[in-house]
């Protein structure tokens, strides 16, 4: 009877060990998670800035935002000087 209980206990521990190994394989390294978080945040900020810039440019191009058209004209006037 004692051997049966010990055998079942060892099998149970082996199952737990296999489950833990599977969890370790699926769970990324904390360093990888940190880098992924930084890249995700940077991508979000960059995408938001780009979306607002394109939206502002489109609205100023069609004349919906008068202040932006003045800024856009100023930047267009500076572009040939900057390229040379």
The DSSP 8-state label assigned to residue 27 in this structure reads S
Q: What is the pLDDT of residues 36-84, one digit of tens each?
A: 999 999 999 999 999 988 887 777 777 676 666 677 778 778 877 766 6
How far does Cα 38 stand from its chain's mean position? Answer: 7
pLDDT of residue 47: 95
What does the DSSP assignment read for 52-65?
Answer: HHHHHHHHHHTTSS
pLDDT of residue 18: 92
In sign, the C-alpha dihedral spanning 64, 67, 71, 76 is: positive
Q: What is the pLDDT of residues 13-37, one digit of tens each?
A: 899 999 999 888 887 788 888 999 9
Q: How many Å apart are CA 61 and CA 76, to the nearest integer? A: 12
pLDDT of residue 9: 84
- 0.85 exceeded by pTM: no
């Amino acid at each position: 009877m004692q051997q049966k209980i010990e055998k079942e206990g060892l099998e149970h521990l082996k199952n737990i060990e296999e489950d833990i190994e599977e969890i370790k394989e699926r769970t990324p390294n904390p360093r990888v998670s940190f880098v992924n978080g930084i890249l995700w945040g940077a991508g979000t900020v960059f995408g938001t800035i780009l979306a607002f810039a394109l939206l502002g440019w489109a609205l100023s191009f069609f004349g919906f935002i008068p202040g932006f058209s003045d800024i856009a004209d100023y930047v267009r006037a500076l572009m040939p000087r900057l390229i040379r």
